[in-house]
Amino acid sequence: MQRTVERMLRTHPEPAFAPADPLSVCIHACVECAQACTACADACIAEHDAALGPCIRIALDCADLCEAASRVLSRQLAPDLGVVSMTLQLCATVCDACAYECRRHAATYVHCDVCAAACRRCTDACRGLLATTVTTYRDRGPYAAAGHIGA
Amino acid sequence: MQRTVERMLRTHPEPAFAPADPLSVCIHACVECAQACTACADACIAEHDAALGPCIRIALDCADLCEAASRVLSRQLAPDLGVVSMTLQLCATVCDACAYECRRHAATYVHCDVCAAACRRCTDACRGLLATTVTTYRDRGPYAAAGHIGA
Amino acid sequence: MQRTVERMLRTHPEPAFAPADPLSVCIHACVECAQACTACADACIAEHDAALGPCIRIALDCADLCEAASRVLSRQLAPDLGVVSMTLQLCATVCDACAYECRRHAATYVHCDVCAAACRRCTDACRGLLATTVTTYRDRGPYAAAGHIGA
Amino acid sequence: MQRTVERMLRTHPEPAFAPADPLSVCIHACVECAQACTACADACIAEHDAALGPCIRIALDCADLCEAASRVLSRQLAPDLGVVSMTLQLCATVCDACAYECRRHAATYVHCDVCAAACRRCTDACRGLLATTVTTYRDRGPYAAAGHIGA
């Protein structure tokens, strides 16, 4: 689906708030991670293993926050860069926490291993986007006044 | 991301409620369509063209319903096949309606053309899944009693 | 929050697609049910009782579908009444299924009893809205052509 | 619906991660704000006024982030308090930004006035919860190690 993400960015009447490459990678990573976390929470519930409680919890949070992040990042009209930056930082944090929990169970449950890898890709993509846009969009105009990416 | 979707299905402790191939294709199509519709609604708002009102509306509905469908389909534990079937039918219907609206503007706005194609893939994937699972899972046990796919 | 729902409907530039009273009741019921199901799924996971697996599953589906329904119903611009009708029918069905599962555990777990009641209110509100709008909006104009509520 | 939110908290097998009163108020405020923002974005689109572009944008972001926040706050099992805290801070920030945009149009469009009030209630509720839980849950055990509310 990354090609579709890229084509939607390229055909938008407004320029993207960040370089198209790290932005499309990040949207794709958020969407992939949200799906993996929804599936992993379901798989963990089906394992009937009480030790997985915290893993299920953080996977459900991670799915919700990645999904919200993918939507915020998919919009290019009049972004509030303070909100975008905090969204990326929260997304990176929850993916980190979910990857940590999933890795603890990765030797026993392969779905936790697959999910941890998706979380790790999403953390990296969020941090990559935060790093890139600092440089490029710091003084972008009216919306930059309300905050800026990667501050 | 389709490889991740497939790996999550394969490593789940429960068998998938449908053959892994049309199921993973459908999950992927729902997620791709949801993202495209979120981006297309935003692009249409940025066009400031009053004729796009109905297109924005159906794209927002389509994003919400495709996202919900992708989550329902991502769960394999104890599915209510009546709910799954209605979810697929609704998803196919809203994608059809969104593709119809987007195609009306596809010559003027390329993002509508890209979005219409994603909607069309999702409609096809939902109908493909409804067709496949009729045959395979009609008498699958307790949950089939509450309904069945593609009835 | 129902007063806010009503005020948003009254101040919208477009007339609501259905009478304001059953519509605001239904939006409110969907939102209440989505929250109750999210909380009930979490509570059920924390009970560490394998018998609750199907209850957790349907509660997660119910939360996602009620949330999507609350959004579709909150929009008054250019509704596709076929999509709205199917959304209401699916929402009523998943709430019914979740109420059924929750009631099976209501004597043991009070949160299941509270959740079942929220689901029941939502089913009733969806069916009430489907019944009302059949009569009132059958021939409402261009969008009615694409389908109509409660067909 | 606040009574249902409170009852779900009281009947959960785990103690709430924060005092039940500011927590239930905050969950309710998030859910109310998400619905108001979804409806206000739709109403703004229907006004066909190009000046509303940034208002529509931030309202859509606000709906998505408030909804995700309401879900994170509705879960009491094994919360990651660092994630919860950042979620509250982001929710307060986006509600602030949406209230600011809506207030600019409140004299012209009453729906913007209603939405700004819901956003303001949500900002206050998030900040109230951040303030309360600092005091009460700072040293709550294993999950506090990963972060704490209102740090």
Compute CA distances C50 → A44, C46, C56, C101, whole Å. 12, 11, 10, 14
Q: Around Cβ B48, how many Cβ atoms within 10 Å?
A: 14
CA distance B105 to C42: 44
Q: Which amino acid is at C89?
A: Q
Residue carrying structure tokens 């490029």: A136
Best residue in A12, A27, A45, A72 to probe D by mutation, most D CBs within 10 Å?
Answer: A72
ipTM field = 0.91
Q: What is the pLDDT of residues C13-64, one digit of tens each?
A: 999 999 999 999 999 999 999 999 999 999 999 999 999 999 999 999 999 9
Could you tell me which residue, D117 or D132, shows the higher pLDDT?
D117
Residue carrying structure tokens 């739709």: D42
Q: Which residue in A151, A146, A137, A150 sits closest to A19, CA to CA?
A: A137
CA distance C149 to D9: 36
C56 and A45 in contact by Cβ < 8 A? yes
Answer for the pair A5, A22: CB distance below 8 angstroms, yes or no: no
| C50 interfacial to chain B (CB closer than 8 Å) | no
Answer for the pair B116, B39: CB distance below 8 angstroms, yes or no: no
Which pLDDT value is given to residue A38? 98
| C88 interfacial to chain B (CB closer than 8 Å) | no
| D88 interfacial to chain C (CB closer than 8 Å) | no
Which pLDDT value is given to residue C31? 98
Q: What integer is the mean pLDDT of D126-132?
A: 94
Tell me whether residue C92 is exposed, middle or buried, using C-beta atoms within 10 angstroms of its C-beta: 0 to 12, 13 to 18, 19 or more: buried
Start-to-end C-alpha separation, chain B: 30
Q: What integer is the mean pLDDT of D77-90?
A: 96
pLDDT over 70 (residue B137): no
C72, closest residue in chain B (CA to CA):
B61
| B95 interfacial to chain C (CB closer than 8 Å) | no
Which pLDDT value is given to residue A149? 53
Compute CA distances D137 → C3, D13, D21, whole Å. 34, 18, 15
Start-to-end C-alpha separation, chain C: 30
| Cβ-based contacts of D66 with chain C (< 8 Å) | none
Answer for the pair B115, B100: CB distance below 8 angstroms, yes or no: no
Which pLDDT value is given to residue D133? 65
CA distance C150 to D3: 31
Which pLDDT value is given to residue D105? 98
Q: What is the pLDDT of residues D20-50, one digit of tens each?
A: 999 999 999 999 999 999 999 999 999 999 9
D94 and A80 in contact by Cβ < 8 A? yes
| Cβ-based contacts of C52 with chain B (< 8 Å) | none
Which pLDDT value is given to residue B149? 52
Give me the count of residues in chain D.
151
B51 CA: distance to closest CA in chain D (Å): 10
Which pLDDT value is given to residue D44? 98
| A90 interfacial to chain C (CB closer than 8 Å) | no
Answer for the pair B56, B130: CB distance below 8 angstroms, yes or no: no
Lowest mean pLDDT among A30-39, B126-135, D79-88: B126-135
Select the residue of C4, C32, C39 nearest D114 (Cβ to Cβ).
C4
Q: What is the pTM of this model?
A: 0.93
Answer for the pair C121, C32: CB distance below 8 angstroms, yes or no: yes
C11 and D45 in contact by Cβ < 8 A? no
A63 CA: distance to closest CA in chain D (Å): 9
Compute CA distances D142 → C128, D37, D79, whole Å. 47, 36, 10
Q: What angle do CA C77, D62, D25 make, to 5 degrees?
A: 110
Could you tell me which residue, D104 or A133, shows the higher pLDDT?
D104
Q: Please give the DSSP secondary-structure letter assigned to residue B135.
A: H
Tell me whether residue C142 is exposed, middle or buried, using C-beta atoms within 10 angstroms of its C-beta: 0 to 12, 13 to 18, 19 or more: exposed
B35 and A77 in contact by Cβ < 8 A? no
| B96 interfacial to chain C (CB closer than 8 Å) | no
Select the residue of C65, C68, C83 nearest B97 (Cβ to Cβ).
C83
Compute CA distances C52 → A1, B81, B116, C86, D40, whole Å. 36, 18, 41, 29, 39
| D11 interfacial to chain C (CB closer than 8 Å) | yes
CA distance A148 to A81: 5
Question: What is the DSSP track for B19-80?
Answer: -HHHHHHHHHHHHHHHHHHHHHHHHHHHHT-GGGHHHHHHHHHHHHHHHHHHHHHH--SS--
pLDDT over 50 (residue C143): no
CA distance C60 to B83: 12
Token pair, residue C119, equals 């689901």
pLDDT tens by residue, chain A, 151 residues: 999 999 999 999 999 999 999 999 999 999 999 999 999 999 999 999 999 999 999 999 999 999 999 999 999 999 999 999 999 999 999 999 999 999 999 999 999 999 999 999 999 999 999 998 654 444 444 444 334 454 4
B61 and C77 in contact by Cβ < 8 A? no
| D68 interfacial to chain C (CB closer than 8 Å) | no
Q: Kindly give, in sequence order, each residue whose CB lies less than 8 Å from that of residue B36, ignoring residues fewer than 6 positions away.
A: A4, A8, B114, B115, B118, B119
Start-to-end C-alpha separation, chain A: 30
pLDDT over 70 (residue B22): yes
Which pLDDT value is given to residue C137? 44
Q: How many CA atoms lie within 13 A of B78 on its CB side?
A: 19
Instruction: Name the region of C10 (left: φ>0; alpha: ψ -120 to 50; beta: rest).
Output: alpha
Q: Which residue in A78, A65, A81 sits closest to A137, CA to CA?
A: A81
D48, closest residue in chain C (CA to CA):
C13
D80 and A72 in contact by Cβ < 8 A? no
| Cβ-based contacts of B67 with chain A (< 8 Å) | 67
Answer for the pair B108, A69: CB distance below 8 angstroms, yes or no: no
C7 and D71 in contact by Cβ < 8 A? no
State phi, psi for C150 to the nearest 5 degrees: 70, 20
CA distance A96 to A111: 17
CA distance D120 to D115: 9
pLDDT over 70 (residue C144): no
| D78 interfacial to chain A (CB closer than 8 Å) | yes
